[in-house]
Amino acid sequence: MGAKGTSVKKSWCFFCKGRCSVKVFVDGDRLVKIEPDPEVPGTQGAGCKGARYKNTVDWFYSLHRLNYPLKRMGRRGENKWKQVTWDEALDEISKTLAELREKHGAETLSVSAGDAWGNSEEYKTRFLSLFGSPNIFGPSPICMGPRSLVCEAIFGWYPQMSVRAVTKCVMALGVNMEITRPAVWKEYMNARKNGAKLIVIDPRFSEISAAADLWLQLKPGTDSVVLLAMIDHIIKIGIYDKHFVSKWCHGFEQLALRAAECPVDRAEKISGVPADQIREAAEIYASSQPAAIVEGMGVEQQTNGAQIIHARCILAGITGNVDIEGGEELHGGFAHTGFVTDRQIELLDALPQSQRRKQIAYDKFRLHSWPGQELLEKYMSKNLGEKGSVHWYTGQAHQPSVYRTILSEDPYPIKAMISSASNPMVSHSNTSMVYRALKKLDLYVVFDLMMNPSAQLADYVLPAASWLEREHLWSYLGYKDTLFGCHATVPVRTSNYDRRDDFTFWRELGVRLGQEDYWPWKSLKEACDERMKNCEISFDELCEKGYWRILEPGYQKYKSQSFNTPTGKIELYSTILEEFGYDPLPYYEAPPLSQERTPDISKEYPFILINGSRIRQFMHSMWREVPSVRKLHAYPRVQIHPDTAISLNIENGEWVWIETPVGRIRQCCMYFDGIEPNVIHAEGQWWYPELPGEEPFLYGIWLSNVNVILNDDPESCNEITGGWPLRHTLCKVYK
Ligand code: SF4
């Protein structure tokens, strides 16, 4: 117990990937505060420096928080609602879904996912598998998809940033770990005490660049050139692991020829990174074993994203850093444990081939859609069995293509959409197209935590339980070696609100649509208990401990079981990419909108626009609705080099227009000499909860949100994984 009448409960904070252990203070049914829990190892709020956990009570009781199911009364976007019961809402939604499925086929339902704030995404997929639609989509082509898919193709598993105290070198690609991956950063700081080096490759100075032994400030969009030049240098001076390469790598000769096309001098011309720095980075990395590479969305959100990840896998492979402690650890998931995995919950096998083939962009981004899922799974299951693979980010429809299909009805009509843990109007690029698509739907349902611009366009808005109001059984998608668990700490229903966890939402909808036999558990708690029934500890014991390392670490497993790839080796030359008709080796291609490829456009739009670095106080589109947090970061800031700003007669703190060929927005100029003078960095996902919710305002969605001016043309997306160019487009800036 805390203060008189206040109970203290253990939990994990799910506001970001920091996953800090916390103590939750509750008085009756009222949340009082949360604090980091120093008794459990972790990062104790380092990522947000308290901005989020200290303001959790304000967030929890925010005026924007959704409390009861709402049904649209006026026109879509008019902000006129009627409170209804859960039964009324679910009965009506399921009736409409059944009618639409009857008329257009199950594929007419699409579901947009996002970053799951304590959601259990596996139940969403289970519902869709049983409903019969392959059209789940979300940010996977620009967040986690390229990393997991390409690593699985090359290594047979995704190593997930396995920095340890023994790690001798960390190479950070397009990531500011200090904010976005605080647990990994903490591990690096431990390793640093033992002399570990840090190489940072990023066009922008950040907290970790300041701590780096070497910061390679490259031109946005040129990462694959730099990595290929590092590979070439390592091969040319013979500092790769010859024994490991000859025994465990496939396609070294072809790789050497490809890398030779990109010597350091050429890389310097394209990327702007001095050749000496590229050589030095290559030599530090190759001579420090174990070495780990940590990549972030800064590389995934480029049109060369898959090629950059491929090159990063090759660097690890030729230096013998794979499947060793503190290098690229390949845990292999929970295949041989008693745990019921996310993959099993998803019931993917219930989705027939005929429906899989209807997935939007099935034939276009083939590693990202069902063909990729099936081929990767075939090789992973060789060693790991049917439980061995992971699905969550992969085997998805292609987000930009789904919106175009809604508008064109080609190849078939998509008439319904459910957004859960997703705020498309804020978070998806090409906002005007997203807006037109949402308005065209026959049925749009939003299941979320807060009223937001997307919810304003919905027919039904349903209140989701937050991470504090529900159980958690978190396996890190099955990639890591540990399970995390906690009980609900705050009631999900009180006299002031009636929310549901997402398990209950999908189950209730599924039961109404004939799925009852497949939802034997009546509650999320029952499902958690069942999934751990055959483990050494129960779900309740897991919650008591907080976390449980379910797998003992094992290294160099390939010696007995080979890698989970077609050749059984690390595929420097990827036979999986080759089978899909893609280039089996990494390459560099200039961005679709760039001085190299569109010189005429670049005359009018002379700057390279990057965006989206994490703002410490916010998480994606969240937290702007909480005044105590908003005052810490009141307005969107665009970083402009002082020389550039002065040449444009722009003062520090002045509002400016940022314009691309797609449109223009306004943000507040902040002088910043940590980027090159020809690069502009804008903040992402801005909306203004203090402005009216109804149209035309939609909480100011058109004013400052960078997605309003970004394009996501599928023809410009990465050909393998479908990512669109968020980190390199052209713009101009003016007052
Ligand atoms: S929001 Fe803060 S306290 Fe919560 S997990 Fe992230 S860093 Fe930790």
Q: Distance from the CA of 686 to the center of ligand 1, in angstroms?
A: 20
Q: Is 317 in the pocket of ligand 1 (CB under 6 A)?
A: no
Query: Counting beta carbons within 10 angstroms of the beta carbon of residue 165, is it exposed (0 to 12), middle (13 to 18) or buried (19 or more)?
Result: middle
3-state DSSP of 181-249: CHHHHHHHHHHHHCCCEEEEECCCCCHHHHHCCEEECCCCCCHHHHHHHHHHHHHHCCCCCHHHHHHHE
Q: Distance from the CA of 13 to the center of ligand 1, in angstroms?
A: 6
Q: How far apart are CA 611 and CA 110, in angstroms?
A: 28
Q: How far apart are CA 56 and CA 37, in angstroms?
A: 15
Q: How far apart are CA 208 and CA 190, in angstroms?
A: 15
User: At 69, is the secondary structure helix, strand, or coil?
Assistant: coil
Q: Is 447 in the pocket of ligand 1 (CB under 6 A)?
A: no
- In contact, 270 and 219? CB cutoff 8 Å: yes
Q: Is 15 in the pocket of ligand 1 (CB under 6 A)?
A: yes
Between strands 729-734 and 655-659, the pairing is antiparallel
Pocket test for ligand 1, best of 16, 60, 486 (most atoms within 8 A of CB): 16
Q: Is 629 in the pocket of ligand 1 (CB under 6 A)?
A: no
Q: Is 182 in the pocket of ligand 1 (CB under 6 A)?
A: yes
Pocket test for ligand 1, best of 12, 20, 620, 629 (most atoms within 8 A of CB): 20
716 CB-near residues (< 8 Å, 6+ apart):
303, 592, 593, 724, 725
User: At 168, is the secondary structure helix, strand, or coil?
Assistant: coil
Pocket test for ligand 1, best of 19, 52, 474 (most atoms within 8 A of CB): 52
- In contact, 138 and 400? CB cutoff 8 Å: no
Nearest to 146 by CA among 722, 735, 733: 722
Q: Is the dihedral of CA 595, 597, 602, 607 positive or negative?
A: negative
Q: How far apart are CA 539 and CA 535, in angstroms?
A: 9
- In contact, 464 and 418? CB cutoff 8 Å: no
Tell whether domain 6-60 is in CATH 3.40.50.
Answer: no
Between strands 6-12 and 21-27, the pairing is antiparallel
Q: Distance from the CA of 12 to the center of ligand 1, in angstroms?
A: 9
| Number of other residues whose CB lies within 10 A of the CB of residue 516 | 11
**N- to C-terminal Cα separation, the chain:** 56
- Determine if the pTM surpasses 0.85: yes
82-138+333-549 fold:
Rossmann fold (3.40.50)
Structure confidence at residue 18 (pLDDT): 78
The CA distances from residue 259 to 56, 234, 322, 507, 572, in Å, are 50, 10, 20, 51, 11
Q: Which amino acid is located at 129 in the chain?
A: S
Q: Distance from the CA of 11 to the center of ligand 1, in angstroms?
A: 12
The CA distances from residue 434 to 73, 404, 629, in Å, are 22, 9, 28
Q: Distance from the CA of 706 to the center of ligand 1, in angstroms?
A: 25
Pocket test for ligand 1, best of 43, 54, 466, 468 (most atoms within 8 A of CB): 43
Q: Distance from the CA of 118 to the center of ligand 1, in angstroms?
A: 13
Q: Is 42 in the pocket of ligand 1 (CB under 6 A)?
A: no
The CA distances from residue 269 to 2, 275, 309, 607, 683, in Å, are 62, 9, 22, 18, 29
Q: Is 45 in the pocket of ligand 1 (CB under 6 A)?
A: yes
- CA-nearest residue for atom 1, ligand 1, is 15
What are the tens digits of pLDDT across the range 548-566?
A: 988 887 899 999 989 999 9
Q: Distance from the CA of 449 to the center of ligand 1, in angstroms?
A: 18
> Measured in whole angstroms, how far is the alpha carbon of residue 350 from the centre of its chain?
26
Q: Is 684 in the pocket of ligand 1 (CB under 6 A)?
A: no
Q: Distance from the CA of 712 to the center of ligand 1, in angstroms?
A: 31
Q: Distance from the CA of 294 to the center of ligand 1, in angstroms?
A: 20
Q: Is 19 in the pocket of ligand 1 (CB under 6 A)?
A: yes
- In contact, 442 and 416? CB cutoff 8 Å: yes
Q: Distance from the CA of 598 to the center of ligand 1, in angstroms?
A: 42
- CA-nearest residue for atom 8, ligand 1, is 45
What is the spatial order of strands in the sheet that 169-173 belongs to?
214-216, 197-201, 169-173, 291-295
Q: Distance from the CA of 581 to the center of ligand 1, in angstroms?
A: 42
Query: What is the maximum span of the chain, computed from C-alpha positions, in angstroms?
Result: 72
Q: Distance from the CA of 619 to the center of ligand 1, in angstroms?
A: 10
Q: How far apart are CA 9 and CA 130, in angstroms?
A: 36
Pocket test for ligand 1, best of 14, 15, 476 (most atoms within 8 A of CB): 15
Q: Distance from the CA of 362 to the center of ligand 1, in angstroms?
A: 37
CATH class in words for 599-734: mainly beta
391 CB-near residues (< 8 Å, 6+ apart):
125, 342, 343, 346, 348, 373
Cis, peptide link before residue 696, omega less than 30° from 0: yes
Q: Per the CATH hierarchy, to which homologous superfamily does domain 161-329+556-579 belong?
A: Dimethylsulfoxide Reductase, domain 2 (3.40.228.10)
The domain ranges of the chain are 6-60, 82-138+333-549, 161-329+556-579, 599-734
Q: Distance from the CA of 51 to the center of ligand 1, in angstroms?
A: 8
Q: Is 722 in the pocket of ligand 1 (CB under 6 A)?
A: no
Average pLDDT across each block of 10 residues of the chain; the chain has 735 residues. List them in order. 77 86 94 90 78 93 96 96 98 98 98 77 94 94 92 92 94 92 91 97 95 97 98 98 98 98 98 98 97 94 96 98 95 85 91 97 95 91 75 83 98 97 93 98 97 98 96 85 93 95 97 98 97 96 92 88 96 98 97 95 97 84 92 96 98 98 97 97 96 97 97 95 93 97
Cis, peptide link before residue 627, omega less than 30° from 0: no
